Structure 1
Amino acid sequence: MADTWLVVGLGNPGPRYERTRHNIGQMVVDELASRRSAAFRPHKANARVAEGWLSPGGAKLVLAKLNSYMNVSGGPTVNLAKFYGLGADRVIVVHDELDIPFDTIKLKSGGGHGGHNGVRDIAKALATPDFVRVRVGIGRPPGRQDPADWVLDAFGAAERATLPILVSDAADAVERVVEDGLVSAQQRFHAPR
C-alpha cells in the first residue's frame, strides 16, 4: 500500500477535552475528513477511523482519532499502522506544540519529542522517531500558569476567531506532505506569512 498514509490527530477522548488546545490534532483530522465527506467509524485498534482519497486516483488517507488518552497514543497508532501494512515513513502525527507560537505550523520528521507525551509514546511504540509531525503552535501559557493546565484549557476568544484558519492550514500542510513531500510542505508552511 505504497500510496496509503496514516494521519493520526492527537488528543484526549470525550467531550471534556473536545475543544481544548491539546486536541487540535483531532480538529485537523476532522477537517480532513470533512473535506472528503468521510465518516469516522470505530476500529478494533482502539480508534475511530475515516478513509478517503487525497484526490481522485490519488493517495489514500486513513484518518485516525484515538480513543486512548494522549500519554498512551503509541499502542493504537502502531496497531493501525500494522493493520494497514504501513511503516513509520507513512505515518503523519498532527499535534499541539507549546514551543511554537499560536497560529504557526511547523513540520518535521524524526528528532526528539520536545516533552510531548503523545509523540514520545508513538516513537516508543513504532521503535523509531522517524515519522512526520505536523506541529500546530498553541504557544506558552501567560504568566505562571502550568503548561499541563494550559493545554487542557479551551482556546481563548481571540484564538477562537483564528482557529478555523489555523486548522484549515494544518490540514493543507498534511495534504501537501502527502502530495509533494515533506520538503515542499516545509518550504510552503515555514515561510513567513
Structure 2
Amino acid sequence: MKAIIGLGNPGREYEKTRHNIGFMVLDEIVSQWGDGKYTSKFQGAFAEARLGSDKVLLLKPQTYMNLSGQAVGALVNFYKIDLQDLLVIYDDLDLDLGRLRLRSRGSSGGHNGIKSIISQLGSDSFPRLKMGIGRPPAGRSAASYVLESFATADADSLEKMIDEACKATALWVAEGTTAAMNQFNGKS
C-alpha cells in the first residue's frame, strides 16, 4: 500500500496559491485514479484510489501547512505505512517554475510543512516530490510570495508541471523512487 500526501493550506483564500501546489496535484490524481471525492479523515481530506493493482491512500492535511505532520503521522500510524511507501508533494522556492525534483530523503530545506512531518515521523527518510515555484522577486518576502496566486502568464507552465507530477507519481507507485527520479528529475 502506498500513501501520497499533497501539502497546502485549507480554505478558499489559499486555493490557487503557490503554497498549495501539492493540493492541486493531489486533486488531479484523485480525479484521474479515483472517483474525485474526499472524506474527512486523519485531520485531512482523504481518498483511496487504485493504480493498476496498487491501493493508494491520498491525503491533503487540513491542519495548515506548519502542522502537516499531525495529519501525516495519524495516517502513517493507522495504516502502519513504511516510510519508503510515503510520497509527499510540495512547493519548492529553490526550483524554477515548472521543474520537478524527486528525492528519497532529506532535510526540510526550510519548508515548514516538511519540518512538521519530519518532526512527527521522527525521520527524514521518506520520498518527496518538490514542485518548482521559483524565488520571489527582489524586495518580496518568501512568506508572502508563497501565499500569492500564480500569475496568469504562468498558467501553461503550471498545467504542464501538474501533468508531469501526476506522471512522476504514477511511475513512483509502479516502479519506485529511483525509476521516477531517473525519468523526471531536472525535467521542466
Question: Do both share a fold (TM > 0.5)?
Answer: yes
SS in 1 for 2:47: strand
1:40 maps to which residue? 38
Deviation of residue 87 (structure 1)? 2.2
> Quick one: distance in 2 between partners of 1:87 and 1:192?
28
| Paired residues, number | 187
Structure (1/2) with the larger helix percentage: 2
AA of the residue aligned to 1:36? W
Counterpart selection for 2:67 from 72, 79, 87: 72
1:134 maps to which residue? 129
Structure 1 segments (4+ residues) deviating >2 Å: none
AA of the residue aligned to 2:72? T
What's the C-alpha RMSD, in Å, of the aligned pairs? 1.1
User: How do 1:1-20 residues align onto structure 2 when only pairs under 5 Å count?
Assistant: 4-20=1-17
SS in 2 for 1:16: helix
> Quick one: distance in 1 between partners of 2:112 and 2:186?
28
Query: Identity across aligned pairs (percent)?
Result: 36
> Quick one: distance in 2 between partners of 1:191 and 1:170?
12
Deviation of residue 138 (structure 1)? 0.2
For residues 83-118 of structure 1, the C-alpha deviation after alignment (integer angstroms, 9 at most, x for no partner) is 222122211100000001100000002111110000
Normalised by the size of structure 1, how large is the TM-score? 0.93
User: How do 1:1-193 residues align onto structure 2 when only pairs under 5 Å count?
Assistant: 4-38=1-35, 39-43=37-41, 45-55=42-52, 58-192=53-187
> Quick one: distance in 2 between partners of 1:192 and 1:137?
11
AA of the residue aligned to 1:98? L
> Quick one: distance in 1 between partners of 2:9 and 2:137?
23
